[in-house]
């Protein structure tokens, strides 16, 4: 299996993606296509000694910066590393793409080069909230700020297929992020989505209130991209705030410093549990390929984790299962599923 790594993507490119690719090649026995500007890649690779046979350079003359306007950049820079990587997947030359680059550009490039799985109106970005042993997939966490009910119903199917095939969770419990438990709670969107999920074939367990998410009552948590992004970012912000406060409290006295030394292993373990990056990457679901988005600040270890996730997803049959589930999601009574519409790339906010 070959996995394409966008060597030009991310704040720390090409250094960390390349080092991460080398780590992944060594640890996971997976071949890597490093996509990027050849001379920059060769210079960086040379720093690590002889390049292993499982690492190949795929030339891309351009790249897209973190601040560029996604759709425009993807369209104008045909030879951007992310476009070349996606094209390689479309051709079947690689089994998955990993990028720590501009998320909007990854999404736009996937849409342009791979297209959507049939039955999917809008792809979504899923984030693994690693609270419980197996984690919770929250989606969408930012690809779609304005959503129709049908999008969220499709997110639910996409998330369930992902958790079932990639993580082996049978009949994943699907919940809807909402501001009350009862069916009638929430905004118009969530009330309509509730009704749809209730009559779907999914293992829908109802609304999940935002203060319960971290106690893991579900495997898949569905949300519009605006609210999902807020939930993920508030989680990060609160965790940062608490650990910042703890750090400054600790440094204020010797007594606290001693206590902190004693508590250190427990604190580190806890910090890990709050880390959305722990799982290595966020799957881009609903595009017709396996795409893992790593954090823009991903270091070599995080890139390696993202490659491991990509490998796992590519091996899992996730994409075929997704094609089957979304084409005719249907209902409990066997009625026909949602009808596909075909938005242009411009309509998709990335």
Choosing from 47, 92, 188, 344, the residue that interacts with a second copy (CB under 8 A) is: 188
Cβ-based neighbour number of residue 300 at 10 Å? 18
Distance CA 57, CA 88 (A): 12
CB of 195 to a second copy, least distance (A): 16
Report the residue number, 15 or 256, with the smaller CB distance to a second copy.
256
Q: Is there binding between residue 269 and a second copy (CB under 8 A)?
A: yes
Instruction: Outline where 2-136 has alpha helix (H).
Output: 15-28, 38-46, 70-76, 81-90, 103-113
Q: Is there binding between residue 311 and a second copy (CB under 8 A)?
A: no
Are 119 and 110 within 8 A, CB to CB? no
Are 325 and 337 within 8 A, CB to CB? no
Distance CA 262, CA 50 (A): 43
Distance CA 208, CA 138 (A): 12
What is the SS3 assignment for 187?
A: coil
Q: How is the beta sheet containing 124-129 ordered, strand by strand?
A: 55-59, 31-36, 2-6, 96-99, 291-293, 282-285, 124-129, 136-139, 220-222, 173-177, 203-208
Q: Is there binding between residue 101 and a second copy (CB under 8 A)?
A: no
Q: Is there binding between residue 102 and a second copy (CB under 8 A)?
A: no
CB of 112 to a second copy, least distance (A): 21
Q: Is the peptide bond before 14 cis (omega within 30 degrees of 0)?
A: yes
Q: How far is CA 109 from CA 72, 84, 226, 326, in A?
A: 10, 9, 21, 21
Report the residue number, 109 or 178, with the smaller CB distance to a second copy.
178
Q: Is there binding between residue 321 and a second copy (CB under 8 A)?
A: no
Q: Is there binding between residue 195 and a second copy (CB under 8 A)?
A: no
Report the residue number, 40 or 345, with the smaller CB distance to a second copy.
345
Distance CA 104, CA 142 (A): 9
Choosing from 27, 46, 145, 195, the residue that interacts with a second copy (CB under 8 A) is: 145
Strand partners, 176: 207, 222
Q: Is there binding between residue 212 and a second copy (CB under 8 A)?
A: yes
Q: Is there binding between residue 61 and a second copy (CB under 8 A)?
A: no
Q: Is there binding between residue 143 and a second copy (CB under 8 A)?
A: no
CB of 132 to a second copy, least distance (A): 11
Choosing from 2, 66, 205, 270, the residue that interacts with a second copy (CB under 8 A) is: 270
Q: Is there binding between residue 296 and a second copy (CB under 8 A)?
A: no
CB of 255 to a second copy, least distance (A): 5
User: Exposed/middle/buried for 286, CB within 10 Å: 0-12, 13-18, 19+?
Assistant: buried
The size of the interface with a second copy (CB under 8 A), counted in residues, is 53
Q: Is there binding between residue 66 and a second copy (CB under 8 A)?
A: no
Q: Is there binding between residue 65 and a second copy (CB under 8 A)?
A: no
Q: Is there binding between residue 210 and a second copy (CB under 8 A)?
A: yes
Q: Is there binding between residue 167 and a second copy (CB under 8 A)?
A: no
Q: Is there binding between residue 59 and a second copy (CB under 8 A)?
A: no
Q: Is there binding between residue 241 and a second copy (CB under 8 A)?
A: yes
Binding site for a second copy (CB under 8 A): 131, 142, 145-146, 177, 179, 186-188, 190, 209-215, 224-227, 229-242, 245-246, 249-250, 252, 255-256, 258-263, 266, 269-270, 273-274
């Amino acid at each position: 299996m070959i996995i394409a790594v966008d060597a030009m993507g991310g704040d720390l490119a090409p250094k960390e993606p390349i080092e991460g690719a080398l780590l992944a090649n060594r640890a996971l026995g997976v071949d890597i296509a490093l996509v990027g500007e050849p001379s920059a890649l060769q210079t960086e690779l040379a720093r690590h000694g002889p390049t292993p046979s499982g690492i190949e350079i795929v030339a891309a003359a351009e790249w897209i910066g973190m601040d560029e306007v996604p759709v425009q950049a993807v369209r104008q820079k045909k030879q951007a590393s992310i476009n070349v990587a996606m094209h390689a997947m479309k051709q079947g030359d690689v089994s998955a793409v990993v990028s720590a680059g501009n998320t909007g550009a990854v999404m736009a490039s996937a849409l342009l080069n791979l297209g959507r799985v049939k039955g999917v109106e809008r792809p979504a970005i899923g984030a693994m909230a690693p609270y419980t042993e197996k984690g919770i997939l929250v989606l969408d966490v930012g690809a779609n700020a304005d959503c129709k009910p049908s999008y969220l119903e499709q997110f639910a199917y996409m998330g369930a297929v992902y958790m079932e095939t990639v993580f082996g969770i049978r009949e994943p419990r699907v919940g809807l992020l909402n501001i009350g438990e009862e069916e009638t709670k929430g905004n118009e969107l969530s009330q309509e989505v509730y009704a749809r999920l209730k009559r779907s074939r999914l293992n829908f367990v109802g609304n999940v209130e935002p203060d319960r998410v971290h106690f893991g009552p579900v495997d898949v948590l569905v949300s519009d991209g605006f609210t999902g992004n807020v939930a993920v970012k508030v989680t990060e912000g609160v965790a940062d705030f608490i650990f910042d406060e703890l750090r400054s409290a600790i440094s204020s006295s010797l007594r606290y410093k001693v206590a902190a030394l004693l508590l250190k292993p427990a604190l580190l373990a806890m910090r890990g549990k709050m880390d959305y990056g722990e799982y290595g990457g966020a799957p881009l679901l609903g595009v017709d390929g396996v795409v893992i988005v790593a954090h823009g600040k991903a270091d070599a270890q995080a890139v390696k984790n993202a490659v491991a996730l990509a490998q796992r997803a590519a091996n899992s049959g996730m994409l075929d299962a997704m094609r089957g589930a979304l084409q005719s999601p249907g209902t409990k009574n066997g009625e026909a599923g949602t009808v596909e519409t075909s938005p242009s790339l411009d309509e998709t906010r990335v």
